[in-house]
Copies of this chain bind each other. A is one copy, B any other.
Amino acid sequence: MNKNTNKKSEKKIRSRNEIKILDAAVLLFSKKGFDGTRFMEIAKASELPKANVYYYFSSKNEIYERLIENVIQGWDNAFEHINLDLEPADAIDTYIGAKLDYARLNPIESRFFAHEMLRGGEFLTRKQRQHIRDVTRKHEHVLESWILQGKIRDISPQHFFIMLWASTEFYANFTNVVELTLEKRKLTKKDYDNARKTIVNSILNGCLKK
Name A residues whose Cβ lies closer than 8 Å to a Cβ of B: 30-37, 88-89, 92, 111, 114-115, 117-121, 129, 132-133, 136, 150-153, 155-156, 158-163, 165-167, 169-171, 173-174, 176-178, 180-183, 194-195, 197-199, 201-210
Q: Is the CB of A210 within 8 A of B210?
A: yes
- Give min CB distance, A27 to chain B, whole Å: 12
Q: Is the CB of B129 within 8 A of A118?
A: no
Q: Is the CB of B178 within 8 A of A170?
A: no
Instruction: Return the chain B residue nearest A163 by Cβ.
Output: B167
Besides A35-B36, A133-B181, A160-B202, 9 more A-B contacts (Cβ < 8 Å) are A32-B36, A33-B118, A89-B208, A151-B208, A155-B207, A163-B199, A165-B170, A166-B174, A204-B206
Residue among B32, B121, B163, B201 making CB contact with A35, cutoff 8 Å:
B32
One complex includes copies of this chain to the number of 2
Q: Is the CB of A159 within 8 A of B207?
A: no
Residues of B within 8 A of A208 (CB): 88-89, 151-153, 204-205
Q: Is the CB of A160 within 8 A of B32?
A: no
Instruction: Return the chain B residue nearest A152 by Cβ.
Output: B207
The 7 closest A-B pairs by CB, nearest first: A35-B36, A206-B206, A166-B170, A159-B198, A36-B36, A205-B206, A32-B35
Q: Is the CB of A198 within 8 A of B163?
A: yes
Q: How far is the CA of A118 from the CA of B113 in the complex (A)?
A: 11
